[in-house]
Amino acid sequence: MSTMHPMGAAMRSLRTDRSVVDQKLTRRTMRRVFGFARPHSRLLTAFIGFVVVDAALVVVNPLLVKALLDDGIRKGDGGLVTLLAFGMVGVSLLDAALGVGSGYLSSRIGENLIFDLRTKVFGHVQRMSLAFFTRTQTGALVSRLNNDVIGAQRAFTSTLSSTVSNTISVVVVGVAMVVLSWQITLACLALFPLLLLASRWVGGQISGLTRAQMNGNADLGNMMTERFNVGGALLLKLFGRRDDEDARYADKAGVVRDLGVRIALVTRIFAATMMLIPALATALVWGIGGHLVISSTLTIGTLTALATLLLRLLGPLQGLSNVRVDVMTALVSFDRVFEVLDLPSTIQERPDAVALDPHSARLEFDHVAFTYPRAEDVSLASLETVARLESRDHGEVLHDISFVAEPGQMVALVGPSGAGKTTITHLVARLYDATSGTVRVGDDAQLWDVRDVTLQSLEDAVGYVTQDAHMFHDTIRENLRYARPEASDEDIWAALESAQIAALVHGMPDGLDTVVGDRGYRLSGGERQRLAIARLLLKAPRIVVLDEATAHLDSESEYAVQRALDTALEGRTSLVIAHRLSTVRNADQILVVEDGRIVQRGTHEQLLAEGGTYADLYATQFKPVHADTGPGPALEAL
């Protein structure tokens, strides 16, 4: 009396990928799996108790029928007939109650387990280094979080319960049948290999087809997610590829359609076989049993009980024939979850890390070199569906970078695209760690290697406005409060005011409650950057990193952003990347970066006087393009 429909369970087993049984699972995996089960051991014990009693009850009703026929009806004992009929009702009620109870326990255990695994994986992934996210396909990661966690949960609920309940049912029913008539039991068991063969064959077919169908569906899903976001849809329109896209989609959808039909056909064949075998067995029982009754070797009650018991034997037998695949599938899911949990973050906090003083405002790079980590060091091959992990090292991106930003100073980074400016800024808050040399933060009294301070205190001390000024799909208020959850509306308005965007937010229909769309799309580039500056102002860090905060803006927006920046930078140490040299004219120190090296350093005036790269860049940006059109546009390469 399993809690799951036997046919449904059988079909699920058949759909699972049979290649899993070839996988090797270590003892360590098993130990960890039990580790996850341990907190729920009481519930698990109660659950298994329910399942065992429920499974054992399977023989009671057929035996009651036997007694009713042989001792009640044949002997004309009306009292016994009534008693046994009530007994049958009692058994059914108990069975129903046990079913509800075990269903409740199974969902408590299963959901708790999903909760444990989900929160653990989410917490772990959140703490991975940025390098992990630059390599990992979000879709693959999300599926790992959802599907495998649910697969792992199955190990403890349906797989465990069906295995226990099927084993108990087979033993109890088998013993009862042997006791009633070993000859008939033996004859019926002869049909078992047929059952096994049928389910093996269908299993092989269906698992292959289902895997192909799942891949096909994933392909369709990927195609849609890639095309149906703003970026993909725009590209599709701009290149006028509608018809080609239609044809590609139809191709993929056609494969899924054909597979669907084949799966349905094999499933029907299987269902028909599953009906046929019990019918054959029943005929066998009645045929042989009938003769035995005639020869008075068997009573009619025993024969009826045997026929009923037989039907309750085949389902569990079929279930047990798939148990290895079921258990391995569930354990492989666990293994895939553990794979993510075991991936260490390349950015680790030292156990003896100290909290950085929030007033730290001195920043120092001391002979810093940097190479981007290799994919295999930061990600899992299985989480990257397109990129193959390359074995080649990236070349060194930064070489011998040394500079000091004194408290309150502004240090500007300029140089061509790809020179390494963004990479330098990423080393400040440990988005990456220097390969050699040291990045330090602190105050006049003490400087700390960034690897010696706690990540939280470092993140609190350093604020960023990044190139894309990302906003969550939430209201302006909540996006700003992300920097300081306890900020009041007054604080938020003050920050918006300083960031030169208060008037615009006032003018919005919902004010602070306006939802900024996915990736902040409903705002213009300049508006989003000013909002990001307001967010930075709320956080109020002593060290500020601005990456191309004024790129791609018209001169009016640039002016507003520039004013916002002036407020943001006041009294703070700043590291500013700017494509427009006008932004960094007042910097205390300008570093010209080329091919990962600082090739020039000094103030604007010093660098102009010195001649060289900076003076050339300045001349290109500010020399009149035509005598009558005034200053030329910002240089693209800058």
Q: How far apart are the first and last CA of the chain?
A: 74
Q: Which stretch binds ligand ATP (CB under 6 A): 193-201, 278-286, 414-422, 618-626?
A: 414-422
H or E stretch including 365? strand 362-371
* Angle at the Cα of 403 from the Cα atoms of 398 and 406, rounded to 5 degrees: 145
372 binds ligand ATP (CB under 6 A): yes
Evaluate whether 169 touches 316 at the Cβ level (below 8 Å): yes
Q: Which stretch binds ligand ATP (CB under 6 A): 6-14, 49-57, 350-358, 411-419?
A: 411-419
Nearest CB to ligand ATP, comparing residues 143 and 422: 422
Nearest CB to ligand ATP, comparing residues 404 and 431: 431
423 binds ligand ATP (CB under 6 A): yes
Q: Considering only residues 287, 418, 517, 631, which one is a binding residue for ligand ATP as defined by CB under 6 A?
A: 418
Q: Which stretch binds ligand ATP (CB under 6 A): 57-65, 73-81, 415-423, 476-484?
A: 415-423
491 Rama class: left (phi>0) / alpha (psi -120 to 50) / beta: alpha
Q: Considering only residues 41, 119, 134, 215, which one is a binding residue for ligand ATP as defined by CB under 6 A?
A: 134
340 Rama class: left (phi>0) / alpha (psi -120 to 50) / beta: alpha
In sequence order, what are the residues at sequence separation of 6 or more whose Cβ sits closer than 8 angstroms to the Cβ of residue 95? Answer: 1, 54, 57
Strands 589-594 and 573-577, bridge-based pairing: unpaired
Nearest CB to ligand ATP, comparing residues 379 and 423: 423
What are the φ and ψ backbone dihedral angles of 364, each rounded to 5 degrees? -140, 130
Beta bridge partners of 462: 543
422 binds ligand ATP (CB under 6 A): yes
Q: What is the DSSP string of 415-445?
A: -STTSSHHHHHHTTTTSS--SEEEEEEE-SS
Nearest CB to ligand ATP, comparing residues 54 and 548: 548
Q: Considering only residues 420, 463, 520, 526, which one is a binding residue for ligand ATP as defined by CB under 6 A?
A: 420
**In the bound complex, what is the minimum distance in angstroms from residue 394's beta carbon to ligand ATP?**
5
Q: Considering only residues 20, 266, 332, 419, which one is a binding residue for ligand ATP as defined by CB under 6 A?
A: 419
Q: Considering only residues 40, 336, 421, 539, which one is a binding residue for ligand ATP as defined by CB under 6 A?
A: 421
**In the bound complex, what is the minimum distance in angstroms from residue 521's beta carbon to ligand ATP?**
21
**Number of residues engaging ligand ATP in binding (CB under 6 A):** 11
CA 126, distance to chain mean position in Å, is: 11
613-620, long-range: CB within 8 Å, 24+ apart, which pairs? 613/415, 614/414, 614/590, 617/414, 617/581, 617/592, 618/581
417 binds ligand ATP (CB under 6 A): yes
397 binds ligand ATP (CB under 6 A): yes
385 binds ligand ATP (CB under 6 A): no
394 binds ligand ATP (CB under 6 A): yes
Alpha helices by DSSP H, listed for 127-159, are 130-135, 138-143, 149-154
Q: Which stretch binds ligand ATP (CB under 6 A): 23-31, 159-167, 302-310, 420-428?
A: 420-428
H or E stretch including 36? helix 27-37
Q: Which residues bind ligand ATP (CB under 6 A)?
A: 134, 372, 394, 397, 417-423
